[in-house]
Amino acid sequence: MTTVGCGIDIGGSGVKAALVDLETGEFIGERIRIETPKPATPDAVADVCRQLLEGLEVASDIPVGITFPAPVIHGVIPFMANLDDSWVGVNVIDLMEKHLGRKVVPLNDADAAGLAEVVYGAAKDVPGLVIVTTLGTGIGSALIMDGKLVPNSELGHLEIDGHDAETRASSGQKTLQDLSWKKWAKRLQKYYSHVEMLFSPDLFVVGGGVSKNHAKFMPLLDLKTKMVPAELRNTAGIVGAAWYAASWPCE
């Protein structure tokens, strides 16, 4: 495995990229960010990825991983909850190759965060089933069994009380509906109890921007499963993508 990788994290408000030291899981130099174009069509976002790679002067032999806020099934996006609908059915390996002139390795954003936690963070050396959830605009999930990722779980879209779970319990909804920590924690309680009942995990790792405020909501939750905040916070997507790309070299 090479010791340097590059990760690009495509989000609803910004597209972020950095070079990553794969031995430590830390950024090499600055992270750079460009606003997500509106509308966030595949071509417009791919062009932003090109600008980011140019900005970082990423050499052609450095593996590049790109995260998407959607499942990525053999390169293809089957549905897209929180970005432009025109992504549905797009093969993102072909799209990025066309715009970037190089192969890249795509993966789901929560899977990238989960991998980063397994390799460098809170899920390192944890046996059994770890469920990493990212609380943001949506709810992302990564299932990790004995250190191995089971990709493309979509536990943010569990239907609970007739609602798509992320439309009730994401941190985006907390902001949108101006919910107090206590009110939001009630929704999280329902969500995590349901996931716990279905999967009996050994550990929950909670990531996403709001996890820096974990002290405000985690103590309000009553679960059988141990729950810890993510360790990598907002670097997890980029770091996980870079690591994944370096572990699954482009042909």
Q: Which residues bind ligand BGC (CB under 6 A)?
A: 69-71, 81-82, 108-110, 134, 136, 138, 140, 154, 156, 166
Tokens of 80: 């897209």
Q: Smaller CB distance to ligand BGC: residue 62 or 112?
A: 112
Tell me the C-alpha distance between 202 and 53, whole Å.
38
The residue sitting closest to ligand BGC, measured at its beta carbon, is: 138
DSSP H or E segment with residue 105:
strand 105-108
Phi/psi class of residue 222: alpha, beta or left (left: φ > 0; alpha: ψ in -120 to 50)?
A: beta
User: CA distances (Å), 237 to each of 26, 55, 170, 229, in order?
Assistant: 12, 19, 18, 15
Could you tell me the smallest distance in angstroms from the CB atom of residue 50 to ligand BGC?
Answer: 22
* End-to-end Cα distance, the chain: 14
Could you tell me the smallest distance in angstroms from the CB atom of residue 248 to ligand BGC?
Answer: 19
Q: Smaller CB distance to ligand BGC: residue 63 or 69?
A: 69
Q: Smaller CB distance to ligand BGC: residue 62 or 113?
A: 113
Q: Taking the mean position of all CA atoms in its chain, how far away is CA 242?
A: 12
Q: Smaller CB distance to ligand BGC: residue 58 or 211?
A: 211
Could you tell me the smallest distance in angstroms from the CB atom of residue 210 to ligand BGC?
Answer: 13
Tell me the C-alpha distance between 32 and 53, whole Å.
10
Tokens of 205: 């790792």
Could you tell me the smallest distance in angstroms from the CB atom of residue 28 to ligand BGC?
Answer: 25
Q: Smaller CB distance to ligand BGC: residue 108 or 235?
A: 108
Could you tell me the smallest distance in angstroms from the CB atom of residue 108 to ligand BGC?
Answer: 5
